Each structure stands twice: as structure tokens, then as C-alpha cells.
Structure 1
Amino acid sequence: MMYILLIIGFFLLVKGADYFVEGSSAIARLLKVPSVVIGLTIVAMGTSAPEAAVSITAGLAGSNELALSNVIGSNLFNLVLIVGICALIKPFIVDQSIMKRDFPIAILSSVLLLFFIRDDYLSRTEGLILLFLMAAYLVMTVISAIRNPITVNDMDRPLPMHTSLIYIGLGLAAIIVGGDLVVDNACRIAAAFGLSETLIGLTIVAIGTSLPELVTSITASRKGESGLALGNVVGSNIFNIMFILGMSSTVHPIASDAAAFTDILILIGLTLIIYIFCKLRRQMGRFMGAACAAAYLIYSVYIVLR
């Protein structure tokens, strides 16, 4: 039964992502905004729902030390592995609007988090600052979209608004349910084979909460929506730090440790490398995609061994 539920979970993830991307792209055309903006907002927040649910629920229970490692791990997975896989599948030109504004904000949010946990503690005040910055970022993104509308080809008729919203709703529901089925049953199968809970948590569960971003970005990339794919990843990373950690630490302050500090340093370092490469080359090719995948593999070995 576990194997059947695992297959159903993967099916829901794939089909849900297909509908989610289709609906999101249609809304972008209807509103005459670049798909990257939809990726940075609606898609990013939607695919980060599992991380938000896990972290905020842990905060309400007063045991949200897990929230920090969950967010850092998800951000590394998003930026390094997902972008790498998308580039391997289909090399893409990097949207320059992301490079000018959103990518630097993702880097600065990680640096700010590193500064906040220098005392091994993320306080309620710091959480409120993160939430304020998230609100400011969303306002800035919406204003930018309004000021820079795109021209929609009359021959390219998008889905009606109500149909697009249905696609997004059903797609997101399928992604979340599918992700839960995959994580739960993969954990049961792994446990049946005698794998430790620690190893399962560091691998299957951490990757499982980022499955929506992975499937959505790959689907968007294959459909030629590279702006939506990269926007989803960058937007999710910003959302994870500013909103999820902001909300979690506001509910209950988060304790940190030296390992988390090191992981954030690794996240900042890899983000800077990818940013500089994209800035110089203006594209993500298969070579860089393979390098990103290799870097994530090395990091995975490191966290298992330490």
C-alpha cells in the first residue's frame, strides 16, 4: 500500500504542477505582468506552503528550533539543486529584472538572518522586522508590475480568469497533498529498510517539503517559462526567510546553534557564486547546472557525516 500511495503522490505532484503553472502563466498574461512577477509572488508563496505549515505549526507548539534548519535546508535545495536541474533539462537566459532586484534581496535576507542569529537566538522583534520587510518587498514587486505591463499577443489567448484561478487552486491542492503522500510514504519505506530517523529527516523530509518548488520549476522550465521557474525559486527563498521565519519567531523565539550559523554561511556563499556567474554569463547552461547539482550532493554528504 505504501508503494501505491507513493506513486499516487508523485502523480498528484506532476499533474498539480502542470495545472498550477498553466493557471499562473494565464493570470500573468491576463494581468499583463511578466511571468517572473507571478513566480516571485503567487507561485513562490504557494509552493512554500509545506515549509510554512511545518514551521508555523512548530512555532505554535513551542518547539520551533526545527523551523530554522527547515528553512535553511529548503533554501539550499531550492537555489542550488532546483536551479541546477532546470538548467540541465533546458538551459535558460536569466531574467535581468531578477538579477537587479530580487536576487540581491535574497542574498541580503540571508545576510540579515546571519546577523540576527549571531547570538544563537532569533527574537520576536527580529521576527517582526522580517515580516515588515516581507510586506515591503511584496508592495515593491506589485508596484513594479503595474509600472511595467507587458504586451500580450492577441493570438495568444490565455485561459479566462475564473478558469485560471480554478487551475491554480486545484493545482496547489494536488501539489500539497501529493507532497505529503510522497514524504509520509517515503519515510515509511525508508524506515522499513532500517534507515535511521536522523538520516530520513536530513534527506527525505527536508527534500520533501521542497518538492512543490522542484516539480513546479521543472514543469515551468519545460514549458519555456524560465522566468517563472527562476522567480519561483528566488521568491520562495525570500518568502521562507522573511515570512516563515518572521512568523515563526514572532509566535515563539527561535534558538539557534553553530551548525545553523555554518549552514547559513554556506547558503550565502553558494548564492553569491550563482549570482556572480549569472551576472557575468547572463544564462544558466548545463555545465553550471551540473556544478550546482554536484555542490548540493557534496553538501548532503557533509550534513550526514557531521
Structure 2
Amino acid sequence: MEYLVFLASMSALIYGANRIIEQSEHIALRFGISHFVIGATLIALGTSLPEMATSISASIQGKGEMAVGNVIGSTTFNITLVLGLIFLIAKTITPKRDMFAHDSAWALFPFVLFLLMAYDGAIGFLDGVLFLMMMGAYLLFLNKQETGLAHEEPNCENFSLKQSAFWLLLGFGFVIVGAHFTIDSAALIARNFGVDEWLIALLLIAFGTSLPELIVSIVAAKKGNGDMIVGNIVGSNVANFTVVLGASALFSPLPVNFATHGFDIACAGAASVMLVFLTANRLYNASAGIGLLAIFALMLISGLGQFLA
């Protein structure tokens, strides 16, 4: 039964992601907003809702370690698996925006702040407030970046804001519900095999909550929309550390055990550093994809090693 639920949930994710991409492009064209900003805000926050729901639920239930594991796993999955696969399967990814000049700090700084906040072994209430304030700063930064930029005014005679809003909300609904049941079914299958909570969060739940980013990026790649792909990944990772961890820490402290899970955290850091390196050199190609997938493989091998130990 769990396997049928998993397949049905995946179908819902794919359908919802198609609706999100379609309507987000319409909105971007109608209001002259860049595809990067749409990907880094509207889509990134929407596809991060599964992480938020899962981590907040874990925090409320006193399972803060699962909340942290979900964020660390999702960050690594988003950069290594999602971008790695996109770079391999897409013919060309050529973002118009200079990602390194504008966004490299946002790709790395949230992770660095996480390390500083977790140095004492936990993410507390005040840390959570600071994280949420950082998300506000990120949104203000993006708004300032857009101000004064000239955008081509397309023909939008048939555009309907109400219709687009309806399909956009429907898409988010399918993504959220699909991710929810994907997580539940995957976690149930994992527990039947005796996998501990950190590994469930780091691998299976993180994979499930990263599916929206993966599906959205694949659809965007087919449309040749490189700005939306990278914007979605950068924005999702900012949201993971700021909104997801920040909101979860408001309910209860989130323990961080560097001694036990240091390698997994290091993989997330290596992925973040590599994202900055790739944007600096504009390496959006298959070779970069292989490098990213190598980091993913290291984390996966480490996780499997913990499971078999």
C-alpha cells in the first residue's frame, strides 16, 4: 500500500510543478518581474513548504534533530542532486543574471550563520528570530535588485490574474499534498527496515521534500529557463535555513550534534561552496553536474554506512 501511495504522490508532485512553472512564467511576463526573482521567491518559498511543515511538526513533537537533518539533507539534495541532474540532462543552462556578482553571498552565508549559531550545540529561539530576519533581508535585497531594471513588455492581452492565481494555488496544493504523502509513505517504508530518525530525515524525508525543486527545475530546464532554475535552488536553500529552521526553532530548541553528524553537515557546506564556485566561473555543464553528484554520492554512501553499521 505504501508503494502505491508513493507513486500517486509523485504524480501529484509532477502535475503541481507543471502548473507552478506555467503560471509563474505568466505572472513574471505580465508584471515585468525577472525569472530569477520569481524562482528565488514565489517558487522557492512554495517548494520549501514541505520542508517547513515537516520540520515544524518534528520540532513540536520534540524531535528537533529530525528538523535539522531535513534541512541539511534538503540543502545537499537541492544543490548536488537537483542541479547535478539538470546540468547532465539539459542541453544548455545559460542564466542571463550574473549569479556570482549578485547572489553568491546568499548561497553561502546562511550555512555559515547556521554553523555559528549551532556552535553551542543547539539552534534556540533567538537564533530562529535572527534566521527569519535574514529571510526578510533577502526579500528586500531582491526587491532592490529589481528596482530600476528595464524589462521587456510582452503581449499579455489574454492574461487573467484571477485565473493564474487559481492555477498557481492549485499547483502549490498538489505539490504540498504530494510531498506530504511522499514523505509519509517513504518514512513508513524506512521504519519497517529499522532506519533511525536522523537518517530518515537526512535521506528519505529530505529527498521527498526536495522533489518539488527537482520537478520544477526539470520543467524549467525543458523551457530553457536557466535563471528560474538557479534562482529556485538559491532561494530554496535560503528559505531552508532561514524560514524552515527559524520557524522550527521558535517551538523548541533544535539540537545539532557535530560529533555524530559532522560529515553530513560538511557535505552541505561543500555543496554550498561548490555552488558559489560554479556561478563564479559560469560552469553550467555536464562536468559540473558530475562534480555535484560526486558530493551527493559521498553523503549517500556515508548514510548507507550508518544504516549498515
Deviates more, 1:284-293 or 1:201-210: 201-210
Q: Is contact 1:37–1:231 with CA below 8 Å preserved after alignment?
A: yes
**Matches of 2:29 and 2:158 in 1, distance apart?**
7
Q: Which residue of 2 aligns with 1:136?
A: 137
TM-score, reference length from structure 2: 0.90
SS at match of 2:250: helix
CA RMSD in angstroms, aligned pairs only: 2.1
Deviates more, 1:255-264 or 1:44-53: 255-264
1:244/1:17 Cα in 2 relative to 1: closer, same or farther (>3 Å)?
same
Q: Which residue of 1 aligns with 2:111?
A: 110
In structure 1, give the amino acid aligned to 2:206. Answer: A
Q: Which residue of 1 aligns with 2:79?
A: 79
SS at match of 1:153: coil
Residues 158-188 of structure 1 show CA distances to partners (whole Å, capped at 9, x for unaligned) of 7422222112111111111222233333445
Residues 32-90 of structure 1 show CA distances to partners (whole Å, capped at 9, x for unaligned) of 01111011001000000111001122223333222111101100000111001111121
Q: Is contact 1:102–1:235 with CA below 8 Å preserved after alignment?
A: no
**Matches of 1:214 and 1:121 in 2, distance apart?**
30
- Does 2:251 correspond to 1:251? yes
**Matches of 1:55 and 1:265 in 2, distance apart?**
20
In structure 2, give the amino acid aligned to 1:297. Answer: A
Deviates more, 1:173-182 or 1:21-30: 173-182
**Matches of 1:265 and 1:188 in 2, distance apart?**
28
Q: Is contact 2:128–2:246 with CA below 8 Å preserved after alignment?
A: yes
Q: Is contact 2:55–2:66 with CA below 8 Å preserved after alignment?
A: yes
1:157/1:34 Cα in 2 relative to 1: closer, same or farther (>3 Å)?
farther
Q: Is contact 1:13–1:178 with CA below 8 Å preserved after alignment?
A: yes
**Matches of 2:67 and 2:162 in 1, distance apart?**
35
Q: Which residue of 1 aligns with 2:222?
A: 222
Identity, % of aligned positions: 30
**Matches of 1:225 and 1:165 in 2, distance apart?**
21
1:152/1:136 Cα in 2 relative to 1: closer, same or farther (>3 Å)?
same
SS at match of 1:148: coil
Residues 183-212 of structure 1 show CA distances to partners (whole Å, capped at 9, x for unaligned) of 333445566xx6333365543222111111
1:159/1:141 Cα in 2 relative to 1: closer, same or farther (>3 Å)?
same
**Matches of 2:61 and 2:302 in 1, distance apart?**
30
Q: Which residue of 1 aligns with 2:166?
A: 166
Unmatched 5+ stretches in structure 2? none
**Matches of 1:116 and 1:158 in 2, distance apart?**
49
Q: Which residue of 2 aligns with 1:99?
A: 100
1:4/1:256 Cα in 2 relative to 1: closer, same or farther (>3 Å)?
closer
Q: Is contact 2:66–2:201 with CA below 8 Å preserved after alignment?
A: no
1:158/1:86 Cα in 2 relative to 1: closer, same or farther (>3 Å)?
farther
**Matches of 2:118 and 2:8 in 1, distance apart?**
40
**Matches of 1:141 and 1:251 in 2, distance apart?**
29
In structure 1, give the amino acid aligned to 2:61. Answer: A
Q: Which residue of 2 aligns with 1:196?
A: 194
SS at match of 1:152: coil
Residues 17-37 of structure 1 show CA distances to partners (whole Å, capped at 9, x for unaligned) of 111100111111111011110
Q: Is contact 2:97–2:227 with CA below 8 Å preserved after alignment?
A: no
Q: Is contact 1:44–1:232 with CA below 8 Å preserved after alignment?
A: yes
